[in-house]
A = this chain, B = another copy of it.
Amino acid sequence: MEIESKNIIIDFEPISRRVFFSNDNSFYEILSELNIPIRSICGGLGTCGKCKILVQSGNKYLNPPTSAEKKVINETELENGWRLACETKINKNQILQLEKIKPPQFRIFLPNELLLEDFNILTTGLNKRVKFQSAIQKIYVEGKKPSLKEPDPDFERILTALFSAIPSLEMNKQLSIDFNILNSIPNILRENDHKITLTLWDNANIIACEPGNTTEENFGIAFDIGTTTIVGYLINLNNGKIYSVDSKLNSQTAFGEDLITRLTFINENKENLQKLNAAVINDLNDIILNTTSKANINPYQIYEATVVGNSVMHHIFLGLNPVNIGLSPFIPVIRRNLNVKARNLNLNISKNGNVYTAPLIAGFVGADTIGVILSSQIEKEKELTLAIDIGTNGEIIIGNRKILAVGSCAAGSALEGAHIKDGMRAAAGSIDTININPKNLEVSYTTIKNKKPIGICGSGLVDVTAEMLKSKIITRSGNFNQDIIDHERFIKKDNKKIEFILVKNEQTSLNKDITISQGDIRQIQLAKAAFYSGSRIIMKHLGKNLKIEQVYLAGAFGNYINAHNAKFIGMIPDISDNKIFQIGNAAGIGAQHCLLNKSIRNKAQLLLSKIQYVEIAVEKEFQKEYAEAMYFPHLNLDFFPSLTEYDDIPKR
């Protein structure tokens, strides 16, 4: 039996877009047809060398590198799978010759610099007010010139001037200077009429000396390192204002989409940790360059960086080996706050600049969760609050001013498009909101940037599930409703698998319908059940007669979904819609808060002793809770008394 074209899969990463092989077009042409615009100056003629892609699997079924490619890609790169999109195509004859039974699967990585369309990376969010108290202070002093009568050494004369500017400093016996800048002082003083600007960290450590008065140029940067996306906020540390923001896809994606893949990669080879570390450091340095050039400042006048990220991202960023996080009992190297000199991390800010990493809570609940708590200030709430941060991993926080508990669930990736047949990340052309008319099952939808649709992103998936329920296309157990599967919106694939057509062939940029399969619904059920059962387990762990009174939805996904529909499918508890708040990139805002107010870092450390960590999957009731939560909205409808629509929706 010959392998059929329609069974040959091409996955484009990191946008998680899957297509099937159809003709012998180049990858450049395939991407153009998908309406995914990529960088090219020559328009696909093979001359500009801009459309470089990384073939991560399927290399042997491609045409060999052309002379045009050999001109712009070196041998090592070619060996590693780098090609020009416009010169590379799939050779079906080669496939037929090499493979008899199993259809091949291609994985094509599109590097950051190739993608023209910005991804929808969430950078903003609810920003509770925080007192401004930077750890960085720049102080301009004019040193006294030395004489035989007053022959004080250079450093001591500067200190005298500094103490007369800020008398309270003199009490700090531990005031020190970074040794590597000490030797620059004599020349700065003598060449600049003894005028010098000192940068002081935490009232304790002189980390920079600059000639003249440079107090105006005083910056910090806050980073949120996600598994998939990275955001950086450049902040003026004289006034606390955000000067510019930049974000990009995490280049580590080239080595693995999710944390487990990356941990496996690190375990394979000693040098792989360095590769991932270099990838994330390069990303941060890119963001530093972009934000500073937007603000027209020198990167070396950034004196502090604060970082949040999940435990694995935290470790890789610091160059710490995270492999034990991936193995039971899931042990990080270190949990607490860390302050590390930028030079030790190769971060291109001031060489003695301080890099602060917020503390981790546990193996899979990281500094990003601390960031969410800090920015949402759950620990000050009177009402018991459930906060869920939905990224590639999901974290659940339940707390108020008295109690605080967290847990994690590996459930987010479905909602970023992984494992969903026509799923994709929130990017141009992805369907983000959906309505289904229950009478005729007509579908209306919107897409990001109003492009022709090419797939469905997370918020679209929540919508489509809720709408299919309301239209009784699916039952509470997630099955297609057998009563209506003869409707023209259904197609039968391979004579067996039924799919619901969301967008018809002719309306898409693809060569095919965009559909929802039974398998897709199962993935959504698994994801939403993980969140719901997770929060139930934590509530039971807290033990008392408690009730969730408000919900915070954090993260990009949490920000864009229809909150009511999230409740409707049973992802979050049944509370009034006006008590559900979408708080945006709360982790990133937590990083900003740490930068804006140094005492928040002590708070972060102190939170650790307050937080109860619940290892959800090992609690004995987990299996039962998880199974019950697979139903829409739940096996027990009593948990969702407000959703009266369910009275009409069949159970099985």
Are B618 and A335 within 8 A (Cβ)? no
Are B151 and A186 within 8 A (Cβ)? no
A328 sits at the interface (CB 8 A): yes
Are A153 and B360 within 8 A (Cβ)? yes
A588 sits at the interface (CB 8 A): no
Shortest distance between the CB of A593 and any CB in chain B (Å): 21
Are B147 and A319 within 8 A (Cβ)? no
A340 sits at the interface (CB 8 A): yes
Given contacts A153-B360, A360-B153, contact A183 B615 (CB under 8 A): no
A598 sits at the interface (CB 8 A): no
A122 sits at the interface (CB 8 A): no
Shortest distance between the CB of A37 and any CB in chain B (Å): 42
Given contacts A151-B363, A362-B151, A363-B151, contact A333 B146 (CB under 8 A): no
Contact for A321 among B183, B318, B329, CB less than 8 A: B183
Shortest distance between the CB of A84 and any CB in chain B (Å): 39
A116 sits at the interface (CB 8 A): no
Residue of B with least CB distance to A159: B336
Are B331 and A151 within 8 A (Cβ)? yes
Given contacts A148-B615, A148-B618, A618-B148, contact A332 B182 (CB under 8 A): no
A338 to B335, CA, bound (A): 31
For chain A, residues 179 to 193, give those with C-beta under 8 angstroms from any C-beta of chain B. 179-180, 182-183, 185-186
Residue of B with least CB distance to A150: B329
Are A155 and B330 within 8 A (Cβ)? no
Contact for A153 among B152, B180, B335, B615, CB less than 8 A: B335
Shortest distance between the CB of A312 and any CB in chain B (Å): 13
Are A151 and B330 within 8 A (Cβ)? yes
A12 to B341, CA, bound (A): 49
A331 to B324, CA, bound (A): 54
Are A328 and B148 within 8 A (Cβ)? yes
The CB with the most chain B CB atoms within 10 A, among A179, A340, A618, is that of A179
Contact for A183 among B185, B320, B331, CB less than 8 A: B320
A152 to B148, CA, bound (A): 59
A156 sits at the interface (CB 8 A): yes
For chain A, residues 143 to 163, give those with C-beta under 8 angstroms from any C-beta of chain B. 146-148, 151-156
List chain B residues, Cβ under 8 A from A333. Answer: 153-155, 182-183, 185-186
Are A331 and B148 within 8 A (Cβ)? no
Are A331 and B618 within 8 A (Cβ)? no
A344 sits at the interface (CB 8 A): yes
Are A156 and B334 within 8 A (Cβ)? yes
Contact for A179 among B182, B183, B321, B340, CB less than 8 A: B340
Are B156 and A186 within 8 A (Cβ)? no
A89 to B340, CA, bound (A): 59
Residue of B with least CB distance to A362: B151
Kindly report how many copies of this chain are found in the complex they form together. Answer: 2
- The size bracket of the interface on A is 35 or more
Residue of B with least CB distance to A344: B179
Given contacts A146-B331, A156-B336, A334-B156, contact A320 B182 (CB under 8 A): yes
A151 to B147, CA, bound (A): 62
List chain B residues, Cβ under 8 A from A344. Answer: 179-180
Are B362 and A332 within 8 A (Cβ)? no
Are A147 and B329 within 8 A (Cβ)? yes
Given contacts A146-B329, A147-B329, A331-B146, contact A186 B321 (CB under 8 A): yes
Residue of B with least CB distance to A360: B153
List chain B residues, Cβ under 8 A from A331. Answer: 146, 151-154, 186
List chain B residues, Cβ under 8 A from A154. Answer: 324, 331-334
Shortest distance between the CB of A258 and any CB in chain B (Å): 21
List chain B residues, Cβ under 8 A from A155. Answer: 333-336
A330 to B344, CA, bound (A): 36
A183 to B323, CA, bound (A): 12
A319 to B362, CA, bound (A): 44
Residue of B with least CB distance to A204: B174
List chain B residues, Cβ under 8 A from A324. Answer: 154, 186
Shortest distance between the CB of A616 and any CB in chain B (Å): 12
Residue of B with least CB distance to A355: B179
List chain B residues, Cβ under 8 A from A613. Answer: 151
Are B335 and A156 within 8 A (Cβ)? yes
- 0/1 string, A323-360, CB within 8 A of B gives 1: 01000111111111010110010000000000000001
For chain A, residues 436 to 481, give those with C-beta under 8 angstroms from any C-beta of chain B. none
List chain B residues, Cβ under 8 A from A334. Answer: 153-156, 182
Are B148 and A329 within 8 A (Cβ)? yes
Residue of B with least CB distance to A340: B179
Residue of B with least CB distance to A175: B336
A154 to B323, CA, bound (A): 12
A196 to B618, CA, bound (A): 31
A186 to B613, CA, bound (A): 22
List chain B residues, Cβ under 8 A from A156. Answer: 334-336
A344 to B153, CA, bound (A): 22
A180 to B343, CA, bound (A): 12
Residue of B with least CB distance to A185: B333
- 0/1 string, A296-324, CB within 8 A of B gives 1: 00000000000000000000001111001
The 6 A-B pairs of least Cβ separation, nearest first, read A155-B334, A153-B332, A153-B335, A148-B329, A146-B331, A151-B329
Offer 20 A-B interface pairs, CB within 8 angstroms, sorted by A. Answer: A147-B329, A148-B328, A148-B329, A148-B330, A148-B618, A151-B329, A151-B330, A151-B613, A153-B332, A153-B333, A154-B324, A156-B335, A179-B318, A179-B338, A179-B344, A180-B344, A182-B320, A182-B334, A186-B321, A186-B333
Supply 11 further A-B pairs (C-beta < 8 A) apart from A154-B332, A183-B319.
A148-B328, A148-B618, A153-B333, A153-B334, A154-B331, A154-B333, A155-B334, A179-B338, A182-B333, A182-B334, A183-B320
